[in-house]
Chains A and B, each alone.
Chain A
Amino acid sequence: MHKRTLKWIILAAAVATPLAAQAHKMWMVPSATNVAGADPWVTVDAAISNDLFFPDHHAAPLDKLVIIAPDGQTAKPQNAATGKYRSVFDVELAQQGTYKLALVNQGLFARYELNGQKKRWRGDAAELATAIPAGAKDVEVTASSSRVETFVTNGKPNATALKPSGQGLELVPVSGVTDLVEGEPATFQLLLDGKPAAGLKVSAIAGATRYRNAPEEMTAQTGTDGRFTLTWPHPGMYWVNASTQDDKSGVKQASKRRLSYTATLEVLPE
Chain B
Amino acid sequence: MRRLLCCTLALLLATPLAAAELDVTVRIPEQEVAEYHRPYAAIWIERADRSVAAQLAAWYAQKDSKEGAGTKWLPDLRQWWRRGGRGLSLPVDGVSGATRPAGQYQLKFVDGQAPLGTLAPGDYTLVVEAAREVGGREVVRVPFTWPATATQHLSAQGSSELGAVSLDINP
What is A's interface to B at a CB cutoff of 8 Å?
A: 32, 34-40, 155-156, 179, 181, 268-270
- Give 28 A-B contacts (CB < 8 Å), ordered by A residue: A32-B75, A34-B82, A34-B86, A35-B72, A35-B75, A36-B71, A36-B72, A36-B74, A36-B81, A37-B67, A37-B72, A37-B73, A38-B66, A38-B67, A38-B68, A38-B69, A38-B71, A39-B66, A40-B67, A40-B72, A155-B86, A156-B86, A156-B87, A181-B82, A268-B78, A269-B78, A270-B79, A270-B139
Q: Give the residues in chain A near B78, CB-CB below 8 Å.
A: 268-269
In contact, A36 and B87 (Cβ under 8 angstroms): no
Q: Give the residues in chain B near A40, CB-CB below 8 Å.
A: 67, 72
Residue from the set A35, A38, A181, A270 with the largest chain B CB neighbour count within 10 Å: A38
Q: Give the residues in chain B near A37, CB-CB below 8 Å.
A: 67-68, 71-74
Q: Would you call the interface of chain B mostly helix, strand, loop, or mixed?
A: helix
**Given A156-B86, A156-B87, A39–B67 Cβ distance below 8 Å?**
yes
Q: Give the residues in chain A near B73, CB-CB below 8 Å.
A: 36-37
> Size class of B's contact patch?
10 to 19
Q: Which 8 A-B pairs have the closest CB atoms?
A: A38-B68, A37-B72, A37-B68, A34-B75, A37-B67, A37-B71, A156-B86, A36-B74
Q: Give the residues in chain A near B66, CB-CB below 8 Å.
A: 38-39
Q: Give the residues in chain A near B81, CB-CB below 8 Å.
A: 34, 36
Residue from the set A34, A35, A37, A270 with the largest chain B CB neighbour count within 10 Å: A37
A35-B72, A36-B72 known; 8 new pairs, CB 8 Å cut-off, are A34-B86, A36-B71, A36-B74, A38-B67, A38-B71, A39-B66, A268-B78, A270-B139
From A32, which residue of chain B is reached at the shortest CB distance? B75
Q: Give the residues in chain B near A179, CB-CB below 8 Å.
A: 82
Q: A30 to nearest B CB, angstroms?
A: 13
Q: B149 to nearest A CB, angstroms?
A: 32
Cα distance A150–B115 in the bound complex, in angstroms: 37
From B72, which residue of chain A is reached at the shortest CB distance? A37
Q: A217 to nearest B CB, angstroms?
A: 27
Q: B80 to nearest A CB, angstroms?
A: 12
Q: B112 to nearest A CB, angstroms?
A: 28
Q: Give the residues in chain B near A268, CB-CB below 8 Å.
A: 78
**What are the interface flags for B74-99 relative to A under an 8 Å C-beta threshold, 1 for contact and 0 otherwise?**
11001101100011000000000000
Q: Give the residues in chain B near A34, CB-CB below 8 Å.
A: 75, 81-82, 86
Cα distance A35–B71 in the bound complex, in angstroms: 9
**What are the interface flags for B129-144 relative to A under an 8 Å C-beta threshold, 1 for contact and 0 otherwise?**
0000000000100000
Q: Give the residues in chain B near A38, CB-CB below 8 Å.
A: 66-69, 71-72
Q: Give the residues in chain B near A181, CB-CB below 8 Å.
A: 82
Cα distance A7–B121 in the bound complex, in angstroms: 64
In contact, B82 and A36 (Cβ under 8 angstroms): no
From B82, which residue of chain A is reached at the shortest CB distance? A179
Cα distance A184–B75 in the bound complex, in angstroms: 19
Q: A69 to nearest B CB, angstroms?
A: 18
Q: Give the residues in chain A near B82, CB-CB below 8 Å.
A: 34, 179, 181
From B90, which residue of chain A is reached at the shortest CB distance? A36
Q: Give the residues in chain A near B139, CB-CB below 8 Å.
A: 270
In contact, B79 and A36 (Cβ under 8 angstroms): no
Residue from the set A155, A181, A268 with the largest chain B CB neighbour count within 10 Å: A155
Cα distance A181–B82 in the bound complex, in angstroms: 10
From A33, which residue of chain B is reached at the shortest CB distance? B75
Q: B158 to nearest A CB, angstroms?
A: 15
From B81, which residue of chain A is reached at the shortest CB distance? A34
